[in-house]
Structure 1
Amino acid sequence: MSLTAATRSESTKTFTTAMWWILALVLVVYVAMTAGGLGFVFGASATGHLPTGASGAHIPKAGLAPVLYSIASSIGYVFPLLIGTLMVTAEFRHKTLTPTFLATPRRGLVLGAKVVVGIGIGVLYAVLAIIAAVGPAAGFLAGFGVNTELDAADTWAMLGRIVIAFALWVLVGIGVGALVRNQVAAVVIVLAFTQFIEPLGRVAGSLVKGLGDVMQYLPGAASDALVGQSVFTSFGGAGGGAVVQLDWWVGGVVLLGYAVVLIILGHLLSWRRDVS
């Protein structure tokens, strides 16, 4: 079987299930509500419409729009990571790998097809997340008379990097799924790391001298660096500490490195093992 045929097969398996569109729907709602809420609060704060003493009362107008648009990736990245993980672990859980490997004995080809399909899903999720973030955020900013910066090349470059980040996150998820066969365990690991372990590490990095130099190489930090903006880092670290961040292209290389290493390890340590 060729890569084209294997990719067609993987596309069918992915898009004939409900999981991909359920995650996409939750992604859109989550990002839109967050971007809309923060767009209102930040827009009102930057123009002096919040009561005196309200938190964020000194948020500047300049550069506010890209920070809000980056919500698409800074909170939405977990969804492409999850779908990438589920693309692989669902095969183990529902035991569909046996007929897949019988039809396509070249296991590396099957994994490569998942990578191709995963990149496509990452691009789709990125477009949905960008629309969900930019729409309400730009609407509130325009309502408060704050520049939406949609006519700036830098804004569109940042949105393009969000697309790249989402595609890379799907690949990271595929690597995790190939390495950790159990679906429940893989999802727990993904959620625990992204929602608990890394955020604590990054907060500690902004407070402890020298630790930030290490924390900037974590996958979430690398993703934020690739995008170039993040609502979590744009106004300073926790407690006012400095936020250390990689150059955007270095962040991309680091995130790609995580994806490549995990996929290779998954292929060598788990993917080639016998399946029932």
Structure 2
Amino acid sequence: MSTATMTERPAARGETRTVPTVLGGLLASTRAELLRLRKWPAVWILLTVWLLLNLTFAYIFNYVAYATGSSGFSNEGVSTESLLPELLPAAIPSVLTGGMPMFGGAIMFILGALAAGSGFGWGSWKTVLTQGPGRLSAFGGTVAAVGIAVVGAVVATVALDFAASSLISVTEGQSFVWPEFGALAESFGGGLLIFGMWAMAGVLVGVLTRSPALAVGLGLVWSLVIENLLRGVGNLLSGLEYVTDVLPGTAAGSLAGALGAGTEGDPDGAPGVLTVLDGRPAALLVAAYLVAFAVVGGLLMRHRDVV
């Protein structure tokens, strides 16, 4: 193929226009998807809901219990004096990923499903794939935009945790102790993997079902109901645990547990946080799921009709 054929193609009325390279098409698609996500109220609502959930269950409930000396569902079986250290900045690495495997993961799944599935209902995928940079570039732009949104969500979570814990430290007259950088970096990376995996799962199901509503429903049922039921049955049926131990939710929960988040079996643990797998295998499994979901979604987008 000649250089002219690769860089130009006939356009309407005898004009010529530049055909974007794969990288150029990917960058253009990423910018377009970022603009769409940035101006989409649903994205900001999802991020706000997650931040409010994180703030409420990680800090507000426990601080109210500590300040009033009362006991509730969030700290049942835990002395109020032991709550304060978990509310200070030094504890951010262990607090950061506590709500991510289940509640945060479900929200990221919705984000991915909406980002990929809405294009089928709106007809935008048909327009992009017939006039735009190509199927893989267009899908890659969506994946990249969702990935950037995931990074933004984790950064916002860290910032909110710093603000809340610093305010509590000042209010209670505690000396300010920065969290250990290595532990914070590990928790930040773990949060990216957990959120990224669930977001890519949402993208895959959105492409598979071609319906954001159906994709969201399936994702919520799987992450909040089916995996928990399978793990419960796995404790009763020998052999089934070999399957349940490598499910996406189990891997994400084990990664959070390895990073110091309280497990769901502990009095002060978080739902979805497990210790089934060690930290390294859990991280590798979550990363493998993330890549597999993105690759399978790209293959489906490349070979399936979008009409």
TMscore range, shorter length: 0.7 to 0.9
Deviations 1:144-169 (A, max 9, x none): 68898643235413234213332333
1:8 aligns with 2:31: yes
Matches within 5 A, 1:111-122: 111-122=139-150
1:40 aligns with 2:63: yes
What amino acid does structure 1 have at the position aligned with 2:212?
Answer: Q
Unpaired runs of at least 5, structure 1: none
- 1:251 aligned residue (282, 295, 302): 282
2:98 matched to which residue of 1? 71
What amino acid does structure 2 have at the position aligned with 1:132?
Answer: L
Matches within 5 A, 1:126-275: 126-137=154-165, 139-140=167-168, 150-157=178-185, 158-203=187-232, 214-227=243-256, 228-233=259-264, 235=266, 244-269=275-300, 271-275=302-306
On the 8 A contact 1:50/1:57 being kept in 2, the answer is no
Pick the structure with greater CA Rg.
2
Using the TM superposition, give the Cα deviation of residue 190 of structure 1 relative to its aligned residue in structure 2, in angstroms.
Answer: 0.7
On the 8 A contact 1:201/1:215 being kept in 2, the answer is yes
User: Closer, same or farther in 2 for the Cα pair 1:63/1:217, shift >3 Å?
Assistant: farther
2:137 matched to which residue of 1? 109
Tell me the TM-score normalized by structure 1: 0.79
Using the TM superposition, give the Cα deviation of residue 214 of structure 1 relative to its aligned residue in structure 2, in angstroms.
Answer: 4.0
Q: What is the distance in 1 between the residues matched to 2:251 and 2:53?
A: 22
User: Closer, same or farther in 2 for the Cα pair 1:176/1:216, shift >3 Å?
Assistant: same
Unpaired runs of at least 5, structure 2: 1-19
User: Closer, same or farther in 2 for the Cα pair 1:41/1:254, shift >3 Å?
Assistant: farther
User: Closer, same or farther in 2 for the Cα pair 1:212/1:63, shift >3 Å?
Assistant: farther
Q: Which moved more, 1:18-27 or 1:264-273?
A: 264-273
What amino acid does structure 2 have at the position aligned with 1:101?
Answer: L
DSSP-derived class of the 1:76 partner: helix
Using the TM superposition, give the Cα deviation of residue 191 of structure 1 relative to its aligned residue in structure 2, in angstroms.
Answer: 0.7
On the 8 A contact 2:234/2:244 being kept in 1, the answer is yes
Give identity over the alignment, percent.
23
On the 8 A contact 1:179/1:265 being kept in 2, the answer is no
Using the TM superposition, give the Cα deviation of residue 128 of structure 1 relative to its aligned residue in structure 2, in angstroms.
Answer: 1.8
On the 8 A contact 1:119/1:168 being kept in 2, the answer is no
Q: Which moved more, 1:244-253 or 1:108-117?
A: 244-253
What amino acid does structure 1 have at the position aligned with 2:247?
Answer: L
Q: Which moved more, 1:8-17 or 1:132-141?
A: 132-141
Using the TM superposition, give the Cα deviation of residue 138 of structure 1 relative to its aligned residue in structure 2, in angstroms.
Answer: 5.8
2:7 matched to which residue of 1? none
Deviations 1:165-214 (A, max 9, x none): 32333222222222221222101011111121223334555787776554
Q: What is the distance in 2 between the residues matched to 1:224 and 1:40?
A: 24
What amino acid does structure 1 have at the position aligned with 2:51?
Answer: V
On the 8 A contact 1:122/1:166 being kept in 2, the answer is yes
Deviations 1:81-118 (A, max 9, x none): 21111110010111111110122252112111112111
1:55 matched to which residue of 2? 76
Aligned residues: 267
Q: Which moved more, 1:212-221 or 1:250-259?
A: 212-221
What amino acid does structure 2 have at the position aligned with 1:69?
Answer: L
Deviations 1:210-237 (A, max 9, x none): 7655433221221233342334447289
